[in-house]
Structure 1
């Protein structure tokens, strides 16, 4: 199960790096990575601090799975955090029934096409792998 933990960690580190890149250099085409309202094509881009915060959270997620193999922190709550992360990603894959996830109703933007094709399946895969990893360990 160590390989699976490391693959999940590498994925989180990559995603964190992407968010840090956006925090430093900005998002070149926000309509591809941020949901837009159906009534307007204007995309409200979150700030650099929000992107950096998401990057920090993703690095924490990576640490949780690295910690499963190389124990840096030994606490009782660290055994429950991965299940919470897995559930969080499964909920993200299912979506808010409006702008994100498999069951979104807004399907006419660049983001919605990319979300259906890449973002939601990645979240579902990560969530399922995390839950499977936790059930087997």
Structure 2
């Protein structure tokens, strides 16, 4: 199960780095990474602080799964925190039933295409790996 934990840590480190890159250098085409309505208008504008905060949380998630391999701190509640992270990613996979997730109804935007091909499948794999790690690990 150490391989799953290490894989999760690597994915979270990559995603954290990507968000920190966006903080420093911006996003070339925000309509591909942020939900838009049918008219192409962004539904959210997280700004640098919001993007940095997401990157920080992703780095924290990476440390939780890296800890399962390297065991640099011991805390009894880490399993519950990990299951919470898995639940968070499962909820993201399901989405809001309009613009985000597998059950979205708006499917003709740049973001919707990227979400269907990459983002929602990735969040589903992350959630599944977390649950496998915690329930059978």
Normalised to the residue count of structure 2, the TM-score between the two structures is 0.95
1:52 partnered with 2:46: no
Segments of structure 2 that go 5 or more residues without pairing to the other structure are: none
Instruction: Kindly provide the CA deviation profile for residues 3-25 of structure 1, in whole angstroms up to 9, marking residues without a partner as x.
Output: 11101100000000000000111
Backbone CA RMSD of aligned residues: 1.1
1:117 partnered with 2:117: yes
Give distance in 1, aligned partners of 2:85 and 2:15.
15
- Runs of 4+ aligned residues of structure 1 deviating over 4 Å after TM superposition are none
Q: Which stretch shows the higher mean deviation, 97-106 or 73-82?
A: 73-82
Segments of structure 1 that go 5 or more residues without pairing to the other structure are: none
CA contact (8 A) 1:94 1:101 kept: yes
Counterparts of 1:98-113 in structure 2 under 5 Å?
Answer: 98-113=98-113
Instruction: Kindly provide the CA deviation profile for residues 23-58 of structure 1, in whole angstroms up to 9, marking residues without a partner as x.
Output: 1111100000000012x2222532011111100000
Give the deviation of 1:66 after TM superposition.
0.8
Give distance in 2, aligned partners of 1:135 and 1:36.
36
1:132 partnered with 2:137: no
1:41 partnered with 2:40: yes
1:89 partnered with 2:126: no
How many pairs align? 136
CA contact (8 A) 1:30 1:45 kept: no
Normalised to the residue count of structure 1, the TM-score between the two structures is 0.95
Give distance in 2, aligned partners of 1:22 and 1:130.
26
